[in-house]
Structures are given as C-alpha cells and as structure tokens.
Amino acid sequence: MTRLPTGPTGLGTSSLRLGPLVEPSLTVPVAEPSPPSSSQYIEGLYCPPAVRDDRVLADEVNARLVEWAEKEVDLYPDADLRDALVGFDAGRSVVLCHPDAPDVDHLMAAARLLAAENAVDDYFCEAEYGGTANRRGAALAVAQSAIDPAHNTLRYEADWRAGVASHPALRSMRSAMEYFDALATPAQSHRFRHDIANLYLGYNAEGDCITQHRTPAVWEYLVQRQFNSFRPCLTLTDSVGGYELPAHLFAEPAVQRAVALSSNASTICNDLYSLRKEQASGRFHYSLPTAIAAEEDCSIEDAFQLAIEVHNDIVHRFEEQAAELAATGGPLMARFMAGLSNWLGGNHEWHAGNVGTRYATSP
C-alpha cells in the first residue's frame, strides 16, 4: 500500500502536522493559527476549528482562478463580474477546507469546480443573471451533460458540443471537470457527477417553492437541503487530498451518513450567516430559520436560535459517526473523516471572515 503523508504537504503547509491517522479522535493536533481579526462568529454556533488559513496561498489560487476564468472559459467577461469573482475569495475557501492538499494544482481542482458550480447557480437559477423558473430544469439538464457527456448519434454530437461551448457556465463546468479528471480516479469522478446531479435536483426543488412563494415545512426543507448542499465540495476531500477512499468504502451506509451530516451542517451554517443578506434582498426566499419561524409561528430571532440548535445537533451527530468510523475503518477512513471535519471548520471560518461584507452573525 502506498504510504500516506501524515499531514498536509505542499504550498503553505510547512508549519502543519497531523497526528497518526489511525487515531480514533477527529481532533487534528496542529498548530492552530489565530483567526483573522476580521472574523466574527455566531454566538453559540458549534463547529470544529479550521486548521490552516494561509493568505499567500489563497491569493495564488485566486490569481490562477481569475486567469482560467478570463483566458480559458471567458466566465465573467464583465469587469464588475470579475471583481465579484475575486471578492468571493474562492482561494481562501479551498485553502481553509482542504488543508491536506499536496500542492496548488489539487487546490485549483477544487477552486475551478467551486467557481463553475456557482456560475451554474448564478446563470440558470438567479434572475439577475437571466435565470428563469420555467427553464431551470432544462438548463440544468444541459449543465449536467457538460460533466456527464451525452452519448448519442454522431449526427447530433456536434450540436451538443456547440451548445456546451456557447455558454460560459457550461464551458466552465466542462473545463473544470476535465482538470479534475486528470487528478482523480474514475470512481471519484463518477462520485462527483452523481452529487452534482443531486445538487441540481435540489435547485429544482427550491425553484418550485420560490415560484409558488411557498415556505416548506421544516422536515421538507431539511430534505431539500440534503440535496441542495455543499456535498459535491465535501466529497472531493480525498481527491483534493491526493488519495482515494475506495468506492466500496465510500458507499458504506455509515460513510454516506457521515458525508450527509457534514454536508447538511456546512450548508445550514451558510443559511445562518447569509440570513440578513437574503432578507435584505427583497425577494421571496426561505432558509432553515424562515422555515422554523413559519412552522413555529415565532420571531425570526427565536427561529435563528432554534436553527443554531439544529446545526449543532447535526455536527455532534457527524462527529459521533465519524469517530466510530475513524476508530474502526483504518488509516484511509480516518483520514477521510478528518478531511470532512476539516471542511466543516474551514467553511465556518470562511463565512465568519466575510461577516460585514457578505454575511452577518444575526438576522
């Protein structure tokens, strides 16, 4: 068996050290950097700490991402949109969420896919970019074909290729997937395609409710959120880390539960930090706090606190499941579980670092 590194390697990782991967604890014993002074946290929100925050490395990823967006896929031709891409700070996100990436090329795989996924959401689901509810499903089906190629007759293949090449979001997904395929195994690529299809199912569910101006019941909302979540980003944990959790292990129900719980918690974290921004938009929207407020007939402030409790319970359930898997599943499983925990902590730190710009700590 190939020897696994005992911790993060590559750019910006010289000061980090992971403990033995066979240890059952999910706590990653590293030198914990002080959070940026601009970070502000939601009081009472429980999450594992981030284990790496490297501004120099994040800037390098951002620079390469903008070069790719401009020169290879013409993602955001307008200067204001390019500024928005830089302001999104995808580089810091992937650096925080993937502290064991062996080099910047692996981080770029995560960053390209993250930018491309956001472009699909922007262009096909958001009205300000031209997205419309009555064409969302059809557009997302074509978007899926950008990473899961259509296999038909030669007569129509050129039309399909031209269709994918004609739209920046589709070009971006195709290009990002090609880059990812070069460093991932076929099983890892198939896993990602499956999770993106589920993501689009979640987009359609959300679109239906928004079109109807219907806030779903809390249980229904949580079902939707399990599909419309950060899960595709989390399931990249091993491929961006430079190793593979074999497909038969990834498919185990207990592993799937750990992946789902960590994905759900990270997405609810976004619900909480973005609530004020969504309320200020003036558009119909819903999230876990607004679904709770409607169902419990309570104030949004009280619903916010209840949503924190839901988030924390899911994180604790993830940690229990992941600790059991790490203790019994061997080094690869332990590393993958630690990677999911790292993603949770990195995602939380990224959100907290954007409080005052994109996000807020209260309704």
Is residue 338 a contact partner of residue 21, using CB atoms and an 8 Å limit?
yes
With 70 as the cut, is the pLDDT of residue 26 above it?
no
Q: Please write the tens of the pLDDT for every residue from 235-262.
A: 999 999 999 999 999 999 999 999 999 9
Q: Please write the tens of the pLDDT for every residue from 121-131.
A: 988 987 666 66
**Number of residues written out for the chain:** 363
pLDDT at position 38 is: 83
Give the other-Cβ count within 10 Å of 200's Cβ.
Answer: 22
Question: Three-state SS for 30?
Answer: coil
- Phi then psi for 355, rounded to 5 degrees? -65, 135
pLDDT at position 279 is: 93
| Burial class, 8, CB count within 10 angstroms (exposed 0-12 / middle 13-18 / buried 19+) | buried
Is residue 113 a contact partner of residue 236, using CB atoms and an 8 Å limit?
yes
Q: Please write the tens of the pLDDT for every residue from 30-60.
A: 334 444 558 999 999 999 999 999 999 999 9
Tell me the mean pLDDT in the region 297-323: 98
With 90 as the cut, is the pLDDT of residue 12 above it?
no
Secondary structure letter of residue 359 according to DSSP: B
Is residue 65 a contact partner of residue 358, using CB atoms and an 8 Å limit?
no
Nearest to 170 by CA among 82, 279, 73, 298: 73
Residue 27's pLDDT band (boundaries 50, 70, 90)?
very low
With 60 as the cut, is the pLDDT of residue 15 above it?
no
pLDDT at position 82 is: 77
Tell me the mean pLDDT in the region 138-157: 94
Residue 133's pLDDT band (boundaries 50, 70, 90)?
low
Is residue 95 a contact partner of residue 13, using CB atoms and an 8 Å limit?
no
d(CA 303, CA 4): 44
Percent of the chain, pLDDT > 70?
88
Is residue 207 a contact partner of residue 121, using CB atoms and an 8 Å limit?
no
d(CA 172, CA 339): 26
| Burial class, 80, CB count within 10 angstroms (exposed 0-12 / middle 13-18 / buried 19+) | exposed
